[in-house]
Amino acid sequence: MAFDPSPIWISLKTSLTATALALVFGVAAAEWRERRKRATGLAFDGVCLLPMVLPPTVVGFFLLLLFGRNGPLGKLLMHFGELVVFSWPATVIAATVVSFPLVYFTARGALAQVDSTLLDAARTLGASEWRVFRRVELPLAAPGILAGATLAFARALGEFGATLMLAGNIPGRTQTLPVAIYFDIESGNMRDALGAVLVILAITAVVLAALALWARGQRHASQRG
C-alpha cells in the first residue's frame, strides 16, 4: 500500500490552527481572570481546566452533545447549512478544547508574575488598559505564554479521543496522525503505524528544540542587557 501523507498535513494544519485559537482565547481568559480575583474565580478556573483532567473521550462526548445534529450549537449551525461533526473543523474544535487549559494555566502564571508597579506606571502616564496590556504586560509575560503555546501544540498534535468522537476517521479529511496510528495498529499495519509515530516524534522534537533555542537566546539577551 502506498504511503498516504494526508494525516501529516491534517495534523499539522489542525494543530497550528488549534494552537492559535487556544492562544487567543487562553490569554484572553487568563487576563480576564487576573483582573477579577474573586472567590467565584475558582469556579471559572475549574471550568477552564476541566478538559485537562477529564478523559479525552468524555470531552469528545460533551462536544458531540453540543455540536451534534440534536445539540444546541449543532442545530444553530445546521440552520446556516453547516454540519460540524465528521468534518475538518471538528478536528480543530476537539484539539482547541483539549489544548486550551495548557495555555490558560501557563498564561495565568506568566501574567501573575508581571510587576504590577510597571502596569500602574503606564496607567499613570495615560495609557489605556488595552495599551498597557499590549505594550507592557503581554511582552513581559511572553516567555511563559510561548511555553504554554508550545505545550498546547504538542497536546493538539497528539489528540486522539475527542477527535475520534467528534470528527471520526475519514481518510483525507479528519484522519489525523494519532487516529491513523490507532487504525493502522488495529489492521495489523505496524510499519505505517511506526512511520506515523516517528513523524510525531520528529515534529515534537523540532518544536521543543526551537523553544529551547529561543529561551537560550532570551537568557543571553537579558544577561547582556
Q: 110-136: buried (b, 16+ CB within 10 Å) or exposed (e) per residue?
A: bbeebeeeebeebeeeebeeeebbeeb
Tens-binned pLDDT, residue by residue, of the chain (225 aa): 556 789 999 999 999 999 999 999 999 999 988 877 665 667 888 889 999 999 999 999 999 999 988 889 888 888 888 889 999 999 999 999 999 999 999 999 999 898 889 888 888 888 888 898 888 899 999 988 998 999 999 999 999 999 999 999 999 999 999 999 999 999 898 998 999 999 999 998 998 888 888 777 766 666 665
Where exactly are the structural domains of the chain?
Answer: 6-224
Single pTM value for the model:
0.90
As assigned by CATH, the class of the 6-224 domain is mainly alpha
Q: 192-221: buried (b, 16+ CB within 10 Å) or exposed (e) per residue?
A: bbebbeebbeebeeebeeebeeeeeeeeee
Contact 90, 147 (CB under 8 A): no
End-to-end Cα spacing for the chain? 57
Instruction: Please name the residues in contact with 204: beta carbons below 8 A apart, sequence gap of 6 or more.
Output: 154, 157
Cβ neighbourhood burial of 187 (10 Å; 0-12, 13-18, 19+)? exposed
